[in-house]
Structure 1
Amino acid sequence: MKIINLSKEQLRKFLVIYQGLSFPKAFQGYDGIKAYVKRVGCVQYDPLNVVGRNIDLMIQSRIDNYKTDMLDKLMYEDRGLIDGWDKMMSVYCTEDWPYFERLRLRKKSEIEIILERRNSSEAIMYVDTIKSFLAQNGPSLPAKIDLGRAENDSWGHRKLSSAAMDYMFNIGTIGIKEKRNVQRVYDLIENLLPSEVLQAEEPFDSDKSFYKWYFKRRIGSIGIYWDRNGGGWLGHFVSDKALRMEALKELYEEGELIKVNVHGFNENFYMRSEDSNILELLEYNYESKVNFLAPLDNLLWDRKLVKDIFDFEYSWEVYIPIKKRKYGYYVLPVMYGDKLIARFEPEVHRGNDALVIKNWWWEEGAIITEEIINELMDCFKRFCAFLNSSGLSDESYEKIIEISNKHMKNN
């Protein structure tokens, strides 16, 4: 059993390095996307697109010269990654498919209860009908299959075909062939995944062995994580604190986890034993560059952890009423080195238009230097290239400089 001691600053640096947010970049090119997802297990997916979907915003902060067609090729042509349920709706490595059998069974029970509550259980009766349709007609949008309307509350599917295909997706009968904006085109799972993946046996001999794999995997999604309740433990099985404490204890005793004592914290932190080599990189002096983070970035899953380790309070205010928002609808955190120093709200971006920044906020106490401003503008160049934008608008540039000058005078 191994225990290491870290300061808050060392933990912060470890998390940044582990997440591939340090410079020079640890993950490179097309293969680097798969390598990053393999390290962290899953990346959370959200279809909302203001200046890129959450997953694209995550990858652009880790992969130089990233374009969204790189991910589409990896997912929907080469099938190296797959859409699935993990921490909420996520993307994970295709070879992990057999490991998620128990989670698919849990989702099956959950969705059946939801459909019953919404008076839409009839949707399940059409599973064989839809399978036959896809077998005869090929990949399809739910809208192309007319099974009638579903009776439900305001949150449910409007069409029985949509409810049925969502159910079939979650239990693993069908998968996503491609996405057309936010619309899913479904196909039979056997047409999408390699036979060796589909035919692979689930590798667990008991619920307990699955739990231990799943808890360890979730720690790897962040890098070093505590055992208290938090955003990193959201989801089936992992949110069960009693189950979690038992699994973490056994994993630690078996040497699968290393316990991390963080100075100034009472919580138990853990990391995977196989990630201990990253501790050696804490002595390396990385370049201090600016990064724009995604709202649902793995680094930000636990808002309390972010506040305690990075001294940065962040919430995604998309679903908060306008009058109750502190900042804005879609606000991105700004990282410099291993510190979160600002946040900004971009306008909806389409095509080759200049990028417009609605609002910019420096963190209170952040020391703004000419070097930081230069790195910030360099990051905007990279970000605009990712967006296929003509660049940062003149008005936005002037706004940021004006806000920065006021901030420097007040600090």
Structure 2
Amino acid sequence: MGKVTLKLRWSKEEARLFHLYSVGLLGKDFPKAKKGIRECFSNLGTLQLDPLPIMGRSHDLVIQARVDGTHPNEALDLIHKERLGFEYWDKVYCAIPLEHYPLARGRMESGGDAWYNTREELLRKKAPDALEVIYKAVKKSGPLSSVELNDLGLGQEEYRGWKANTAANAALDILWNQGRLAVSHRINNRKYYDITERVIPKDYLAIEKHSPDEMRKNWLLKRVRDVGLLPLKGDQEVWASVRTARNETFIKKLLGKRELAWVEIEGVRSPCLAPANAADLLDRAKSAKPDGKAKFIAPLDPLVWSRKLLAQLWDFDYVWEVYKPKRQRKWGYYVLPVVVGDRFVARFDGKYDQKRGKLTVASYHKEPGGLPHTDPSIEKSFERFLVYLGGEKIKFPARKKKK
């Protein structure tokens, strides 16, 4: 890529420490409970949302790996209640700290997710007035969910589309994608929408939106900060929503202006982009004292966003198999990696039964050189995990009898 101003060469050990520090798993020492959620959310810069409530949801699991004294549903409830952030596209569907709203607004006003344009065209054919009817209803009586709109008899025309079976559902999604509506809060994970002016504080609405060039740059800089190490090659998923910035000339310009650092890591084929102050951050990571805890990592944790980097840097192959047919799964339905220090030591497939207060560990796989679930550090982490879930007991898989 030609001459690079900030070029760093790291060992795998250095890169792993940096990676952990960048995503808040090393050296942060967040407070407990709500105060910790506030600080952790701000530090993360984004929280990828997912609806599946297996052991809490993935975003709950991201928080519990970093903050003690939390429980499922608390983080997103707090984010909305205290207006710490908003829901919109980042890597994919995320909760994003409010400071980034002006950046997101530029994306909203340029059409949001392009796929929604197709949805809007279809909706206007099926129910031409639905968008304005639903917007006016929310403006008059919001916050509203699809349930209240159904009770009002609004937008009930049939709509066969992804995640929507009525015009009202589709209209809420499209108006949200455009930035005209925002998610006000959730009840039992159901989204309640209101007009944006009643959700986003005025100070953030008043900030001038970013220009297209600023948007491209600032979304890329944000992604690099959020993930720590962004591989230049491969890994389409970790570049989601910032692929327009995946341009050699554009990246070279940012490197030349010292707005990004170029990092080469031994044993990792692709060079990575890192924040401009990566060298200083590495020094902080090296001086951080590991807490010795085993951490259960969410399927959508920023630590595991880049699967290829995970394999090459961490020697850990991870695939979330929740959407695979059972016969095709290698490890299980909802598998959480386990990290101790700078190593992945195990992975387990679990499910929590809230009514019975029981966590069932369907399988526990020790990594080569890793730790069994009977190791004291793993046992303590399962005890903490049960407290996070609000449960009473854990069932581990029966030991196989030796022949």
C-alpha distance in 1, partners of 2:97/2:58?
17
| In the alignment, structure 1 residue 149 sits paired with structure 2 residue 157 | yes
- Stretches of structure 1 lacking an aligned partner (at least 5 in a row): 407-411
Q: List aligned pairs for 1:107-126, cutoff 5 A.
A: 107=112, 109-116=114-121, 121-122=125-126, 125-126=129-130
Number of matched residues? 392
Match of 1:167 in 2: 174
Q: Structure 1 pair 270/108, CA: closer, same or farther in 2 (3 Å)? A: closer
Which of 161, 165, 185 is the matching residue for 2:192? 185
The answer on whether the counterparts of 2:185 and 2:193 sit within 8 Å (CA) in structure 1 is yes
Match of 1:270 in 2: 273
Q: List aligned pairs for 1:200-219, cutoff 5 A.
A: 200-202=207-209, 204=210, 206-219=211-224
Deviations for 1:29-48, whole angstroms, at most 9, x for unmatched residues?
33443333333321110011
The answer on whether the counterparts of 1:215 and 1:247 sit within 8 Å (CA) in structure 2 is no
C-alpha distance in 1, partners of 2:12/2:258?
24
The answer on whether the counterparts of 1:356 and 1:392 sit within 8 Å (CA) in structure 2 is yes
C-alpha distance in 2, partners of 1:247/1:36?
31
Amino acid at match of 2:306: D
Deviations for 1:318-372, whole angstroms, at most 9, x for unmatched residues?
1111111112111111111111121111124314613111111112x224379x7
The answer on whether the counterparts of 2:40 and 2:67 sit within 8 Å (CA) in structure 1 is no
Match of 1:409 in 2: none
Match of 2:90 in 1: 86
Q: Secondary structure at the match of 1:5?
A: strand
The answer on whether the counterparts of 1:120 and 1:150 sit within 8 Å (CA) in structure 2 is no
Q: Structure 1 pair 41/389, CA: closer, same or farther in 2 (3 Å)? A: same
C-alpha distance in 1, partners of 2:347/2:277?
34
Q: Structure 1 pair 143/369, CA: closer, same or farther in 2 (3 Å)? A: closer
- Stretches of structure 2 lacking an aligned partner (at least 5 in a row): none
C-alpha distance in 1, partners of 2:304/2:29?
19
Deviations for 1:83-105, whole angstroms, at most 9, x for unmatched residues?
11111100111121111123222
C-alpha distance in 2, partners of 1:102/1:245?
23
TM-score by length of 1: 0.88
Which of 197, 201, 211 is the matching residue for 1:194? 201
The answer on whether the counterparts of 1:218 and 1:232 sit within 8 Å (CA) in structure 2 is no
Q: Secondary structure at the match of 1:107?
A: coil
Which of 364, 384, 387 is the matching residue for 1:385? 387
More displaced 10-residue stretch of structure 1: 118-127 or 210-219: 118-127
Deviations for 1:104-160, whole angstroms, at most 9, x for unmatched residues?
2232643121343x566445632222222123323111132232233325x351010
Q: List aligned pairs for 1:211-250, cutoff 5 A.
A: 211-236=216-241, 238-240=242-244, 243-250=246-253
**Identity, % of aligned pairs?**
26
Q: Structure 1 pair 151/380, CA: closer, same or farther in 2 (3 Å)? A: same
Deviations for 1:161-215, whole angstroms, at most 9, x for unmatched residues?
000000011111111122122311111111111111112211x3x4222211111
C-alpha distance in 2, partners of 1:178/1:344?
32
Match of 2:256 in 1: 253
More displaced 10-residue stretch of structure 1: 193-202 or 291-300: 193-202
Which of 165, 181, 186 is the matching residue for 1:158? 165
Q: List aligned pairs for 1:294-373, cutoff 5 A.
A: 294-351=298-355, 353-363=357-367, 365-368=368-371, 373=375
Match of 2:16 in 1: 12
Match of 1:21 in 2: 25
Residue 266 of structure 1, CA deviation? 4.0
Q: Structure 1 pair 157/343, CA: closer, same or farther in 2 (3 Å)? A: same
Higher percent of residues as helix: 1
The answer on whether the counterparts of 1:108 and 1:167 sit within 8 Å (CA) in structure 2 is no
The answer on whether the counterparts of 1:226 and 1:270 sit within 8 Å (CA) in structure 2 is yes
TM-score by length of 2: 0.89
Residue 312 of structure 1, CA deviation? 0.9
Q: List aligned pairs for 1:38-49, cutoff 5 A.
A: 38-49=42-53
Deviations for 1:53-93, whole angstroms, at most 9, x for unmatched residues?
11100000001112346424532211011111111100111
Q: Structure 1 pair 309/348, CA: closer, same or farther in 2 (3 Å)? A: same
Amino acid at match of 1:160: A
More displaced 10-residue stretch of structure 1: 330-339 or 268-277: 268-277
Match of 1:139 in 2: 143
Q: Secondary structure at the match of 2:348?
A: strand
